[in-house]
Chains A and B, each alone.
Chain A
Amino acid sequence: MSTFSVVLVGMVVVFASLTLLSLCIKIYSAIVSKFSNRKNNSNNGQSNNVQKNDVQIKNVAETTNVNSTSTTQHGLSPELIAVITAAIAASMGGSSADLKVKSIKRIGHTTPIWNVAGRNEYILTRL
């Protein structure tokens, strides 16, 4: 086999097989996530019903700026909203049932640059 054809065939085979592999991963990932979503949905459906009956919101605490459109635009997942609510409730020392989240908005970077530099340096030493 000539040198050029070895190079050409070699590269084509490597690319083709890895492309095929990447397609296969995509396909089976999609199938797996579909199955797990279906499972989650059926679980969520049950828990939602329970929540509707049990949870009564007593006090409304303003947590962040009201900006409901940005929340929907960013498409925050219910899990993330739950985590943020739980974190606020934990830091305020109350129950999450006392809170009503109107919006969640990302605010700018407030950590001093020296802290960021120190953190990065620490992470780099661990790499």
Chain B
Amino acid sequence: MWQDFTNAISSLIQESGFANMTPLHLVMIVIACVFLYLAIVKKYEPLLLVPISFGMLAANLPLGGLMHPELWDASPLDFGAILHEGGLFDLLYLGVKLGIYPPLIFLGIGVMTDFGPLIANPKSLLLGAAAQFGIFGTYLGAMALGKFTEKQAASIAIIGGADGPTAIWLTTKLAPELLGPIALAAYSYMALVPVIQPPIMRALTTKKERQIVMEQLRPVSKTEKILFPIVVTLLTVLLIPSAAPLIAMLMLGNLFRESGVVGRLSETAENALINIVTIFLGLTVGATASADKLSQPGFGIQALLIILLGLIAFSVGTATGVLFGKLMCWLTGGKVNPLIGSAGVSAVPMAARVSQKVGQEANPQNFLLMHAMGPNVAGVIGSAIAAGVLLSMVG
């Protein structure tokens, strides 16, 4: 009797997660807890980091069976096996793998974005383009290091686009094995925009330039706002077809907003839908950062390099944006404040707020926010185009 009892207890213990825990699992759980701390206490992009880090925590508990990385490493993918043997996170991860979630998030972003400042000052599109130098500069750097393949380098470089969904979308298509660290780096740096950008902005501009007060933007008519998503979709998708999923959904969302006739759809897209998709995306992206990956030779160094290259991508993007702003300032005879250039790295609306705050430090009477929103939303379009270009050239 006693023997049976102890046997039952010991087999239960042996089948439990505690007995199967390896040091690597522990490391991943500690990393997940650090990210949870950053999200909850430091409030770094909590809406994304909480699901991402909890997904990481749950997927790294041994025998939980929520995620099976081995099913996703098979080449070609056996979708039958995933459907039959996959856990909850495996099934939800299908939305990431098939590129469904990022465009749906873009739909919600489209509804929330006012492209008015961009239509009022179309030149700000060029600032959005200049900030994409960060992406291509980092691609160059990642290739020069010799530790990454072309596809991996392109996925790391897109962190410089400061656009989480775009980074996830491109990485699942080019280098899914790096999805965890790239998504974490992209979202962490987006939260760190107010820390990373101001020193670069101050270093590259003079006080006189930062004090420039820009002319008020002209009002934009409703017709122009309705035409904008249609024109952008037509032009961009015809030019770069590989950017179609992101651009088309972003612009559909914006058309929902501006047309004013589909209030129910836009309300769903900007609230319920984007929140549901964010939960699924965050959980499953976090779950891809599994302990098995950490045990692969060289993965730890790769993850560290990704974090470093991500920072470089952000900094280069900010610097080229500000430098292009200086060029526009010079060309227009001092009518453009170069600080709005840094907002070209997307990270809506954080980067535009940073331009506003740095501008107001130099001149308390200055209001750059709406001027910075132009390059800011242009950066979203720019990074989606850059992702499409990278996909068609490297993929």
> A32-B223, A127-B356 in contact; A14/B386 too (CB < 8 A)?
yes
Residues of A within 8 A of B139 (CB): 3, 6-7, 10
Q: Please tell me if the beta carbons of B122 and A32 are within 8 angstroms of each other in the complex.
A: no
Please provide the chain B residues from 226 to 244 with a CB less than 8 Å away from any CB of chain A in the complex. Answer: 227-228, 231-232, 235-236, 239-240
The 10 closest A-B pairs by CB, nearest first: A22-B122, A25-B122, A18-B129, A22-B125, A3-B143, A7-B136, A18-B125, A15-B129, A10-B389, A17-B239
Expressed in whole angstroms, the Cα–Cα distance for A36 and B154 within the complex equals 45
Expressed in whole angstroms, the Cα–Cα distance for A21 and B137 within the complex equals 23
Stretch at the interface among B172-180, B199-207, B310-318, B377-385: B377-385
Expressed in whole angstroms, the Cα–Cα distance for A11 and B364 within the complex equals 36
Expressed in whole angstroms, the Cα–Cα distance for A3 and B152 within the complex equals 13
> A6-B394, A10-B386, A15-B129 in contact; A21/B235 too (CB < 8 A)?
yes
Chain A at the B interface: mostly helix, strand, loop or mixed?
helix
> How many Å from the CB of B299 to the closest CB on chain A?
23
> A6-B394, A29-B119, A120-B364 in contact; A15/B227 too (CB < 8 A)?
no
Interface size class of A (residues with CB under 8 A): 20 to 34
Residues of B within 8 A of A23 (CB): 122
Expressed in whole angstroms, the Cα–Cα distance for A117 and B365 within the complex equals 9
> How many Å from the CB of B140 to the closest CB on chain A?
5
Expressed in whole angstroms, the Cα–Cα distance for A14 and B381 within the complex equals 10
> How many Å from the CB of A27 to the closest CB on chain B?
9
Q: Please tell me if the beta carbons of B386 and A29 are within 8 angstroms of each other in the complex.
A: no
Q: Which residues of B contact A (CB under 8 A)?
A: 118-119, 122-123, 125-126, 128-129, 132-133, 135-137, 139-140, 143-144, 150, 154, 220-221, 223-224, 227-228, 231-232, 235-236, 239-240, 353, 356-357, 360, 364-365, 369, 378, 381-382, 385-386, 389-390, 393-394
Chain B at the A interface: mostly helix, strand, loop or mixed?
helix
Closest B residue to A11 by beta carbon equals: B136
Residues of B within 8 A of A84 (CB): none
Residues of A within 8 A of B129 (CB): 14-15, 18-19
Residues of A within 8 A of B356 (CB): 127
Q: Is A107 an interface residue when CB atoms closer than 8 A count as contact?
A: no
Residues of A within 8 A of B228 (CB): 25
Q: Is A116 an interface residue when CB atoms closer than 8 A count as contact?
A: yes
A108-127 near B? 1/0 per residue, CB < 8 Å: 00000000110010001001
Q: Please tell me if the beta carbons of B360 and A14 are within 8 angstroms of each other in the complex.
A: no
> How many Å from the CB of B257 to the closest CB on chain A?
17
Q: Is A26 an interface residue when CB atoms closer than 8 A count as contact?
A: yes
Residues of B within 8 A of A19 (CB): 125-126, 129
Closest A residue to B225 by beta carbon equals: A32
Closest B residue to A20 by beta carbon equals: B235
